[in-house]
Structures are given as structure tokens and as C-alpha cells.
Amino acid sequence: MEIRALLFDVNGTLIDIETDEWMEETYRTVAHFLTYQGIALHRGEVRDLYFQIMKEQFAASKEIYPEFDVVAVWREVLRRYATEYTRSLGAAKLLQMPLFLAELQRGISRKRLVAFPQTHEILAQLKTRYRLAVVSDAQSAYGLPELRAVGLADYFAPIIISGDYGYRKPDARLFHAALTELQVCPEEAIFVGNDRFRDILGARQVGMKTIWFCPHGNPGGSPETEPDYILYQYADLPRAIEFFAAG
């Protein structure tokens, strides 16, 4: 079988990341920032608002696997609590502020952000032979900057991020969006991911071969989420692709 493209999940697959969205310091900092924008909210109120509006977005969605929009969450916070002073700040600042709040929240809540070992070397090698793309459950507000921060963004085109679509994996439309831009058929592509339901099941449903990235061992899973290949380290990825090419 000819392999023309490789598609990757990001968090837990290309990037080893740890965040804590409940970290008190995050909402204390956001609350202090909002004070200077004319909005007086306690850190606990900011936290509760964030999760409440996110929940409202999910409830309003008609998707089977809905995704939220983090920038829209912060835009709604500002809309609900803007004062006359807030509105006097000017259209340009008010337009930019929701994105800034999303970036601020993510940056403070982030504890670890590194590429998995050998990703750079292997991706550089593979890019000479295959088209490389990303299909990630994430938000563009921080998913793209995090890929850039670890030096991986330039390997991939397209980069499909669920927050831009309103639904997440295993929705087949995300995989099809990447395959359409790549101009390859599903049987000509391999998907590499760390989540057996979102990544492996989702990619299998559209007809792609699957590689489950499992650097910490194999905890098992159900038959419908069984991958075609299990990868424990990136050094073995070229060998995995050869396995499919020979099939």
C-alpha cells in the first residue's frame, strides 16, 4: 500500500504537556487584570464564570462531540460584566482582550510543555517523503503557539484544530478536512495518536490506518479502538510506516 500522508494528534502525541485549569493562581491573576479594565470580580467568581459559560456552550451545541470556543468564553465574560469604563477602552482593545485572556489563562495554568524525545529528528526525516498534517482537539488560541514554542509547527500543513470547528474527534469531519487539504485518500494516510477513542476509533472510521502512541506502556482497550500498530518511541516510527507500506 502506498503511504502518502501522516496525520498526528498533538497533546500527548507530539507534545508532552501538563496543565491545571483549576489552579487558583490563574483566576487570581485574571481577576486582577480585569480590575484594570473596570471589572470587579473575585478569583472564584472568574473561575465559576469560565466553567459556567463553557458549560452553556456545550449545552447549546447540537453536535454529538461538541467543542467549546475559549475566546468566545472570555468574550462573553466581558460582555456580561463590562462597565462604562470597560466600554470606554476602545474597540481595538476590546476586540483583542478575549484572546489575550485565553492566552493568559493557558500560560499560567501550564506546568509542562516539551516535545516528546526524537520528534524533531523523526519529523524532519519523514517530511522529505510524506505530507504531514495535524488533527487536534484543542483551541487555536494556544494550540498553535504551543506547537511553535516546541519548534514543531513548520512540519505540518494543514493544522486542523477542533476549536475552530465546534466539534471534536472522533467526529469524521475533522479527519476528512485534513485529508481534503492534503488531497489524499484515507487508505493512503496513517493517523498517529495517543487516545484510543478520539484518535484511533475516529481515524479507523474514515478508513485510515492507525498508530497508537503509547510511551508509558499498554493499558489495554476495547476491540473497536484496537490500533493497527503500537508505537512506544518515535525512533520506531519509520519502521511502523514500512510495516504498512509492505502490507
Structure confidence by residue, pLDDT tens digits, 51-65: 999 999 999 999 999
At 218, the pLDDT band (50, 70, 90 cuts) reads low
pLDDT at 17 over 80: yes
Look at the alpha carbons of 219, 220, 224, 230 in this order and tell me if their dihedral is positive or negative: positive
- State residue 16's pLDDT score: 97
- pTM of the predicted model, to two decimals? 0.94
- Residue 12 sits at φ, ψ, to 5 deg, of 90, -5
Q: Which CATH architecture has domain 5-18+113-245?
A: 3-Layer(aba) Sandwich (3.40)
Domain positions in the chain: 5-18+113-245, 19-111
* Matching residue, cell 484543542: 138
Express each pLDDT in 155-188 by its tens digit: 999 999 999 999 999 999 999 999 999 999 999 9
pLDDT of 14: 98
